[in-house]
Structure 1
Amino acid sequence: MSDNRSGSPDTATRSRRWWARAAFALAILAVAVPLVSAGLLSSLGVLVVGVGGVVVMVAALYWFLATRGVLRWISLTIAILSPIVVLVLFIRAHLLAEVAAAAILAILAVLCARAALSGRTSDTAVREVPAPPARHPVLIMNPHSGGGKVAKFDLQRKAEELGAEVVLLEGPGTVDVTELARRAVEAGADLLGVAGGDGTQALVAGVAAENDLPFLVISAGTRNHFAMDLGLDRADPSRCLDALRDGVELAVDLGRINGRPFVNNASFGVYAEVVRSPAYRNDKTGTVLEMLPDLLTGHAAAPLVTRIGDVTVRNPQAVLVSNNPYGSSDLAGLNRRDRLDRGVLGAVTVSVANTRQAVGLLGRVNAHGLTQHTTGEVVVDAHTRQTPVGVDGESLLLDTPVRCTIEPGALRVRVPRDRPGVRPAKAAVDWVRLRELAWHR
């Protein structure tokens, strides 16, 4: 005989259902308050002004990105002025208090929606297994990564005190990192680790996976996305070394792109073309603004054809393939990964060719310009022999068609037993899913 305690699945489902219903109730109130206050005759005008202001602002932002010269700056001016004009019109209609109340209700609706759609903590917990101390750990460190974090946090000395052999990546004649890792394995290393960026992490991770060795991530890069999704301390990379004396193992997936390993993602289209530009490193913002008009209209890059399982997406402006899907609390679904052991790739494509599609993306409801999938394989093709790809932040030219696959549980990652942990991604406010949750039994 089973009881229905507070922690049971039935109780959790009922709780999420009521959060979903509360979200709909608050959303309806957010719309109703200014309309009712305006009176029946003015309600239509209030609705037109509010929706029209959003449409004009999104359209102007699109034209700011898609054009150059005087038209670009006129579009930016319109985008800035649109919400100001709407606010002034509401003030003149003596509806400022009602609009403020509607904004508060809308924020509460979003919070309730996320509470309803958020997964349980158990959904984001990767299984840990005990890990014996390594006898001959070899750590490869890039002294220049992350603005010099290896020296700043004294990582070499601390690692050597814990019994690790440290190999520094410095000097123009240094052998490539994959070769260094393979030499370490041949010399008897029983653990490989990296203090560096995600691109370097991926290459050594590939060698560790091929030899079934544990892999240690030290968050000494600039962004450390892989370390973040493993729940490691990104503020103090020296804490990652605690895994050498008191560690546990996580079995996580490893992505492959044309055979090359990646731990985070591979990007095609707009982002890959921008990163490939020689001017990008010195002037990121200027390069993006200069290249986007041609990229958005398809004049700069070769058209892409993306096959995601049984789905084919033609001519997207951007494609992102990730080692496990990202959370989807922002427009493109790129946030953080709750888990790295689901055994699937995440695939996001973005196609924005006109103002209507830009507004549709903002709505997130059946937007034709945005697709999100999980799959075991993604193939990206183009009418060129090679296509630019950003792999874990590094710009590469790869032979087409480019094939991305996933190796479930291929990587044994050694992490400290005591670590910050993974903060779950915020749930996307998906009103279709929310409606099903609220009233489907």
Structure 2
Amino acid sequence: MTGSGSGGGGNGRTARLLARVAVLCAVGSLVVLVATAGLASALVIVAGLAGTAVMAAGVWWALTHHGAMRLLGALLAVAAPVGVVVIYAGNDLWPPVLAAMSLWAAALACGRAALRRDRPPRTMRGRPAGPLRRPVLIMNPRSGGGKVEKFGLVAKAEALGASVVLLDPSEHQDVTEIARRAVADGADLLGVAGGDGTQALVAAVAAQQDVPFLVIPAGTRNHLAMDLGLDRADPALSLDALTDGVELRIDLGRVAGRAFVNSVSFGVYAAIVQDPAYRDAKAATALSAMPDLLLGYEGARLTARAGGEELTDPQAVLVSNNPYAAGDLLAAGRRPRLDGGTLGVFGVKVAGVAQAAELALRGGQAEAVTVLAAREVEVTADAASIPVAVDGEALVLDVPVRCAISAGALRVRVPRDRPGTQPALPPLGWRRVGRLALGRTPAQRAAVDDV
């Protein structure tokens, strides 16, 4: 693993230029609005902010109520933006609004690009991987709606010299035992074409036996594959790692003696996953359970402790194998690195409509959101056991539940030629952008950021 320099050379010059463009566009959006709309520019801003707040309130009511209140909330969530559009159209404000919004969008894009270039993240570097003698791949034919069959993974893997263990969907099989037996029989690589839960079970055996692990993104979401930079559109391309691969060293999470590759969830999501109907009707099950979980929940009250910090009574806590990008909620599904040696902690505690509106306006920087990082996390509750979702699998664990990270525990083999990971969007701090635009040194910017 290697690190990238910060703010020097071509990256530094480009970052400063982008920061200056961002500042000019941000100022320009305000100037255009005021110059073309005059006093009506205040109406534009007030209407936009009010519409966003009302829409957020509507979404909150729709999530936290049943029946008529849910319907009313949904109507508000739709009517608010429509109302803003009507106000703009009725006052002939479309031209300045469109111009200002375009400039503001350009300012956001350039500002984030500037910060990304100013402090490029460290990237995971692979080392050459030698030839394999007996790779064994475990495939779940039901994962991802039948991707194993759709992409012909069995035939393609066997043509590349791999032995395939095809799971039988009609009966329960001990995947961990299958993986252990494969290594005992001489397997020098373990791979999985299946969901993240199955991947975690096999990854634990691979880490314990110190053999490489291969991820074939044949599940539904394929979070680990995304963060490894694999091509999720065509799972068969991951098989190229068998003949032309590189090896990465990544971390492995641990919770109550069990490995996880992505995350462990507590609170609302973990409770929803416990419902047997969730697997076949995720959206409907979640909507049905949300009101009781967010407002009328009478279950265990959680407390999460990480790195000396404490989060009390959160509605949801997510502990991840390396932190997710949390600059804004839109980026929270991606981990910039898998080899940082720390757990990420993402907690949400929304007390009412006002905080729901702030969450909609400020995203991951809202007061309702807590973002932490630590090597160990402990979750306690006022109950003997609590529901927990480990890589999407429903469990019930005794408290306290302890999560830890095993740095560099897992050898992952990936294709040499793969799409790669996309840099995470950094949180957009205009103070940092302004200092960068003025040409301050990295040390000066860091000092300002720490204030």
* TM-score when normalising by structure 2: 0.89
Matched residue, 1:349 = 347
- What does 1:279-358 correspond to in 2, within 5 Å? 279-297=277-295, 299-328=297-326, 330-331=328-329, 333-358=331-356
Structure 1 residue corresponding to 2:185, chosen from 176, 184, 187 = 187
- What does 1:52-201 correspond to in 2, within 5 Å? 52-119=50-117, 123-170=121-168, 172=170, 175-201=173-199
Q: Structure 1 residue 429 and structure 2 residue 435: aligned?
A: no
Counterpart amino acid of residue 382 in structure 1: A
1:10 Cα deviation (Å)? 4.8
Q: Please tell me whether the aligned partners of residues 329 and 335 of structure 1 are also in contact (alpha carbons under 8 angstroms).
A: no
Q: Please tell me whether the aligned partners of residues 54 and 357 of structure 2 are also in contact (alpha carbons under 8 angstroms).
A: no
Judging changes above 3 Å, is the alpha-carbon distance between structure 1 residues 359 and 24 closer, same or farther for their aligned structure 2 residues? Answer: farther
1:104 Cα deviation (Å)? 0.8
Instruction: Work out the CA distance in 1 between the residues paired with 2:431 and 2:65.
Output: 34
Instruction: Work out the CA distance in 2 between the residues paired with 1:385 and 1:378.
Output: 18
Judging changes above 3 Å, is the alpha-carbon distance between structure 1 residues 107 and 302 closer, same or farther for their aligned structure 2 residues? Answer: same
Counterpart amino acid of residue 12 in structure 1: N
CA RMSD of aligned residues (A): 2.4
* TM-score when normalising by structure 1: 0.91
Judging changes above 3 Å, is the alpha-carbon distance between structure 1 residues 46 and 188 closer, same or farther for their aligned structure 2 residues? Answer: closer
Counterpart amino acid of residue 225 in structure 1: H
Counterpart amino acid of residue 299 in structure 1: Y
1:87 Cα deviation (Å)? 2.4
Matched residue, 2:412 = 413
Deviations 1:356-381 (A, max 9, x none): 21122222485210111222111111
Matched residue, 1:392 = 391
- Secondary structure of 1:268's counterpart equals strand
Instruction: Work out the CA distance in 2 between the residues paired with 1:296 and 1:212.
Output: 43
Instruction: Work out the CA distance in 2 between the residues paired with 1:196 and 1:431.
Output: 42
- What does 1:370-389 correspond to in 2, within 5 Å? 370-389=369-388
Judging changes above 3 Å, is the alpha-carbon distance between structure 1 residues 366 and 184 closer, same or farther for their aligned structure 2 residues? Answer: closer
Q: Structure 1 residue 22 and structure 2 residue 21: aligned?
A: yes
| Number of aligned residue pairs | 435
Q: Please tell me whether the aligned partners of residues 193 and 218 of structure 2 are also in contact (alpha carbons under 8 angstroms).
A: yes
1:302 Cα deviation (Å)? 1.7
Counterpart amino acid of residue 362 in structure 2: G
Instruction: Work out the CA distance in 2 between the residues paired with 1:14 and 1:168.
Output: 53
| Larger mean Cα displacement after TM superposition, 337-346 or 80-89 | 80-89
1:188 Cα deviation (Å)? 2.0
Q: Please tell me whether the aligned partners of residues 343 and 408 of structure 1 are also in contact (alpha carbons under 8 angstroms).
A: yes
1:123 Cα deviation (Å)? 3.0
Counterpart amino acid of residue 297 in structure 1: L
| Larger mean Cα displacement after TM superposition, 143-152 or 244-253 | 143-152
1:204 Cα deviation (Å)? 0.6
Matched residue, 1:250 = 248
Instruction: Work out the CA distance in 2 between the residues paired with 1:246 and 1:120.
Output: 34
Instruction: Work out the CA distance in 1 between the residues paired with 2:296 and 2:115.
Output: 36
Counterpart amino acid of residue 421 in structure 1: G
Deviations 1:229-288 (A, max 9, x none): 111222222222221222111111111111211111111111111122122233322222
Structure 1 unpaired stretches of 5+:
1-5
Q: Please tell me whether the aligned partners of residues 305 and 380 of structure 1 are also in contact (alpha carbons under 8 angstroms).
A: yes
Counterpart amino acid of residue 421 in structure 2: V
Matched residue, 1:39 = 38
Instruction: Work out the CA distance in 1 between the residues paired with 2:419 and 2:119.
Output: 15
Matched residue, 1:3 = none
Q: Please tell me whether the aligned partners of residues 35 and 47 of structure 1 are also in contact (alpha carbons under 8 angstroms).
A: no
Instruction: Work out the CA distance in 2 between the residues paired with 1:74 and 1:8.
Output: 50
1:11 Cα deviation (Å)? 4.5
Deviations 1:97-122 (A, max 9, x none): 11111111111111112211225796
Instruction: Work out the CA distance in 2 between the residues paired with 1:9 and 1:393.
Output: 42
- Secondary structure of 2:204's counterpart equals helix
Q: Please tell me whether the aligned partners of residues 135 and 163 of structure 2 are also in contact (alpha carbons under 8 angstroms).
A: yes
Structure 2 unpaired stretches of 5+:
445-451
Instruction: Work out the CA distance in 2 between the residues paired with 1:401 and 1:265.
Output: 17
- Percent identity, please: 53
| Larger mean Cα displacement after TM superposition, 357-366 or 380-389 | 357-366
Judging changes above 3 Å, is the alpha-carbon distance between structure 1 residues 432 and 358 closer, same or farther for their aligned structure 2 residues? Answer: farther
Instruction: Work out the CA distance in 2 between the residues paired with 1:212 and 1:85.
Output: 60
Q: Please tell me whether the aligned partners of residues 335 and 425 of structure 1 are also in contact (alpha carbons under 8 angstroms).
A: no
Counterpart amino acid of residue 38 in structure 2: G
Judging changes above 3 Å, is the alpha-carbon distance between structure 1 residues 433 and 320 closer, same or farther for their aligned structure 2 residues? Answer: farther
